[in-house]
A = this chain, B = another copy of it.
């Protein structure tokens, strides 16, 4: 951290800052410019409270030098994290495809969709049993019944299952049925939940909050990692901006940025990132070209009857077409979709 003093700061103010830093067990490095005095803090990386320094007399501001996340940073693990999901490796050269309906609506619906997704080339089945809905009057998911249907669909197709968990008390239940836990965008900073999934041994897909800085997203990953679970995937699903023509703005830049800042795999969700099925294919292909390690896409056999998110769901036939197109792009960028 660097402390920048105000213009013309008195010697006594500078001394007070130095004393505070030294009291905390750090060394200081003083630099007196013509316009400003600047105090560098030299130490072992233990946190020092920025707020407290900023409130000392004649301090203008503090500038952190290090990123606040450690376990999630690329520095911590330069080679990148990879781990198996079903028959595939996530975070390796292969690109993993997750697909399925927004919500599990019935036993037959999820089994039909699972077969269609598998046939189209998907590796993992998605489907929500607990649904976060902005209205208390909307369909909230089938709950444990939905989890059972997901498990049945896995039995029938062999596809591992990803589903959302919304509260700490449900983590154990969801772990009984699911292979991957999903943390939704609205819960990216639900710390009790991050803590709980951090203590499970299931892989976690952590969606970016709809207005979260990438730095905050990595800090949320840090919560999970620091509780002992190292199998975390980050999922870019679009951010909220002023633009209204699409449901969200797909922050495609996040893919190369996360690759540089972190060792964790990065998944793209073009369904939420666009919000309209017409744009899902273009966004999905862009994500493959930009370097995503996987894609999670909403597929429904009859979107016009879906109980949620129908407008952003692809029909199986169109999804199969998209998989073929993504395979060609994966090859063009030196990767593969198995």
A residues near B (Cβ < 8 Å) are 2, 4, 7, 29, 31-36, 38, 40-45, 47, 49, 51-52, 54-56, 63, 65-66, 68-69, 75, 132-138, 166-169, 186-187, 189-193, 210-211, 213-216, 219-220, 222-223, 226-227, 239-246, 249-253, 255-257, 260-261, 273-274, 278-279, 281-283, 285-291, 303-311, 325, 328-329, 331-333
Contacts and interface: CB of A to CB of B under 8 A. Distances in A.
Contacts of A210: 211
Given A253-B249, A329-B333, A42 B34 contact: yes
| A186, A213, A220, A282 pick with most chain B CB within 10 angstroms | A282
Contact of A243 (B43, B167, B213, B310): B213
A56 B278 CA distance: 14
13 contacts: A31-B31, A38-B65, A47-B137, A51-B309, A63-B63, A135-B222, A169-B169, A210-B211, A213-B244, A213-B245, A214-B245, A256-B274, A328-B333
Given A278-B260, A287-B286, A311-B55, A132 B333 contact: no
Nearest to A194: B136
A215 B240 CA distance: 15
Copies in the complex: 4
Given A282-B256, A333-B285, A243 B250 contact: no
Nearest to A50: B311
A222 B51 contact: no
